[in-house]
Amino acid sequence: MKNKLNSILPPVVLVLIYFLIQLLLSKKILNPYHIQILMFACVNIMLTVSLNIVNGFTGQFCIGHAGFMSLGAYGSAIITTMLFGGMKMDPNLRIPVFLLSLLVGGILAAIVGFLIGLPTLKIKGDYLAIVTLAFGEIVRSTLRLIEPIGAARGMIGIPKITNLAWMFFFVMITLYITRNFVYSRYGRASIAIRDNEIAADAMGINTTRYKVIAFVFAAFIAGVAGGLYAHLMTFIQPDSFSFVKSNELLVYLYAGGSGSITGSVLGALVLTIIPEALRFLGNLTNWRIVIYAVILVLIMLYKPSGLFGGKEISFLRINRDSFRKPFNKFNDPKLADKQNS
Amino acid sequence: MAMLEVKDLQVSYGAIAAVRGVSFDLNQGEIIALIGANGAGKSTILRTISGLVKSKSGSIRFADKELTKTPAHKIVALGIAHVPEGRHVFSGLTVLENLKLGATLQNDEARKEENLKRVFSMFPRLEERITQKAGTLSGGEQQMLALGRAIMTDGKLMLLDEPSMGLAPIIVEEIFENILRINKNGTSILLIEQNANLALAVSSRAYVLENGIITIEGDSKELLVDERVKNAYLGA
C-alpha cells in the first residue's frame, strides 16, 4: 500500500505544482520570464542527473558533458528545422516530429557516447577527465566548421515547442528511469566500480562494460535535454555548449551532492535560480555573481559532500535494506547477466 | 594433476621486475602459503593469477586453461575468487549488497541461497549487520565481509591476500578458523601472509619468496623448523 502511494504521489505532486504555477501565472504573480528560468532549471536538472550517473554513481570523471548536450540539440534541431520546415511545419506534425527529434538527438548522443566510451573508459581518473574535456571541445569545434547547420553563427529558426508541461514530463521520466537504473543490478555494479574498481574486477564484474553502459545512458539523457533546450531557445550555437557549460553542470552536481539524485535536482534547481533571483538587488546587481560564488563556497564549507551527499528522498530511493526479498528479486532470470557465456 | 600450475612467471611494473621467474603448483583441496617480506612479489603473483595485472612471460594454468591472456571477469567465472589485500569492500553498499555482488556470475538460485547461509553460519556478525553500509563496519568485520563475498563467488580456488593485516589477534584467530572451514568445504586456498607462523600452521606446503624468486619450498611442518625460515621470518 505504502509502495503504491509512493509511486503515485510524485506525479500527482508534480501535476499539482504545474497547476499552481499556471494559477500564479494567471494572477500575474509569476511572469513568463520566471517560467523561462524554471524551464532552464529543468534542462539543467536532466543534465545534472545524467552527469551524476557517470560521475556520482560510477565514479568516473566526465568534464565534457555539454558535448553530449550539443549533439542532442543539433540532432533534434536538424530534424525539426531542416527536414520538417521548422516554423512552417504542419501543426498536426509538430508534436510527433518534436518527439522523434528528441529521440534522434538522444540516440545520436548515445552513439557518440558509445564510440568515445569504448576506448577511453579503460583510462582512469584524471586522464579520463582530460579525454572527456577534449571530446567536448572536439564536438564544439567540429560544429563550428559545418556550414549547413550555420557553423559558428549557430542555427536559427528552431520552432519553440518546449513548454513547461513537456519539461515537467521529461524531468519526471528522467528521474524515474534514473532511479530504477541506480537501484538495478546495473546500478549496483556501477557503485561497486566507484567504491573499488579492483574488488569489482575480482568479483567478476566486467568493469569496462558497466562503465560504457553508464556513459551511454547518461549521454542519451543529456542528448534529450539538449533537444529540449534547442526547442526552448529557438537558437543554438556551438559556443553555448563549451567547457563553461560542462563546468556549470559539475558545480550543480557537487554542490547538490554527487551520488544523490535528489542532490542533483536540488543543486541544478537552486543554482539556476539563485543568479536570476539576485537580479532584484538593484545597484548591487553587478555583485550577484560574487554573491553566487560566496553561496557556493558556503555550501561546500558547511556541507562538504554537497547538500544531499549520498542521501535520497523517499520517491528517489528503492529500499535496498529489506531482508531476504531483494536477494530473490536480484535473481530474476530476466535480469540475469549473461557474462559467463 | 595440479589444479593450479604456475610456470616461469615474470611480471614487471614498467622497468621494475616484481616477479622474476616463479614456478609453483597447487593441488585440489590444498592450502598453499606464499610467505616473504614486503615487496617480495607475493601480491603481484595473486593479482596476476586473477588477471588484475598482466604477466610479462610464463604461464598460469588453472583446470587446464591458460589464464595469462584471460580478462579478470572471465577468470572469476572459471572459479577463482580473489580477496584483495586491505579488504576492499564496497563501502557505499550494504553488507547484503556486497554479498550479492560476490554472486554476480552465479545463476543457480538454490546454490546462491546455500552459499549465503554458509556465509552467515561462518560469520553470524554479518547477518546481524545485513542492512549496514559496509564502510561503517570495523576492520575485522570488513575482512569477514570480503571473505564472505569470496564464498559467494563459489570459486574452486580462493586467493587470500594478507587476511590478518591490521586485525586484533582474537579476530585473526576467528578469521583463520573460518579459512580452514572454507577449505574443508572443498575450496583450495592460496594464502599470502606476512605472519609466517600462522601461514605455516594452516597450510600443507609453503613457498618462500624473496625479491621475486622462490628461494625455499617444502612442507609447512618442515619449514616451521627450518633454520633459514626461522631466522628470517619466524623471529625465533
The CATH number linked to A273 is 1.10.3470
User: Inter-chain contact A205–B104, Cβ cutoff 8 Å?
Assistant: yes
Residue labelled with grid coordinates 553460519? B121
* SS3 labels along B39-52: CCCHHHHHHHHCCC
**Mutation choice for B interface testing from A191, A201, A205, A335 by most B CBs within 10 A:** A201
What distance in Å separates residue B129's CA from the closest CA in chain A?
11
* Overall number of domains in chain A: 1
Question: Is A48 within a domain?
Answer: yes
Give the tens place of pLDDT for each residue, A123-162: 887 888 899 999 999 999 999 998 888 888 888 888 888 8
Per-residue tens of pLDDT for chain A, all 341 residues = 556 666 677 778 888 888 898 888 888 888 888 899 999 999 999 999 999 999 999 998 889 999 999 999 999 999 998 888 777 777 788 889 999 999 999 999 999 999 988 877 778 878 888 999 999 999 999 999 988 888 888 888 888 888 899 999 999 999 989 998 998 889 999 999 999 888 888 888 888 899 999 999 999 999 999 999 999 999 999 999 999 999 999 999 999 988 889 999 999 999 999 888 887 777 777 777 888 888 888 888 888 888 887 777 777 776 654 434 444 444 444 433 433 33
Provide the edge-to-edge strand list for the sheet that holds B213-219. B80-83, B157-161, B188-193, B31-36, B205-210, B213-219
- Joined together, the cell numbers standing for residue A63 give 568534464
Q: 3-class SS at A16?
A: helix
Question: Is A336 within a domain?
Answer: no
Q: 3-class SS at B189?
A: strand
ipTM of the complex: 0.77
User: Inter-chain contact A337–B104, Cβ cutoff 8 Å?
Assistant: yes
Measured between beta carbons, which residues in chain A are less than 8 angstroms from residue B110? none
Alpha helices in B108-215 (DSSP H): 109-122, 124-128, 139-152, 169-184, 196-202
A215, with CB counted inside 10 A (0-12, 13-18, 19+), is buried
Helix (H) / strand (E) element for A143: namely helix A125-145
Interface of B with A (CB under 8 A): 50-52, 71-74, 76-77, 81-84, 88-94, 96-97, 100-102, 104-105, 107, 109, 112-113, 116, 130-131, 146, 149, 153
Which residue segment(s) compose the domain that A191 sits in? Answer: 33-330
User: Inter-chain contact A198–B131, Cβ cutoff 8 Å?
Assistant: no
What would the mean pLDDT of B54-73 be, rounded to a whole number? 89
Report yes or no: A82 and A76 within 8 Å, Cβ to Cβ. Answer: no
From the list A189, A191, A330, the residue facing B92 with the nearest CB is A191
Predicted model pTM: 0.83
Q: Which residue of A has its CA nearest to B101?
A: A203
Question: Is A90 within a domain?
Answer: yes
> Could you tell me the residue ranges of all domains in chain B?
4-234
CATH topology for the B4-234 domain: Rossmann fold (3.40.50)
Alpha helices in B12-138 (DSSP H): 42-49, 72-78, 95-102, 109-122, 124-128
Whether residue A200 lies within 8 A of chain B, CB to CB, comes out as yes
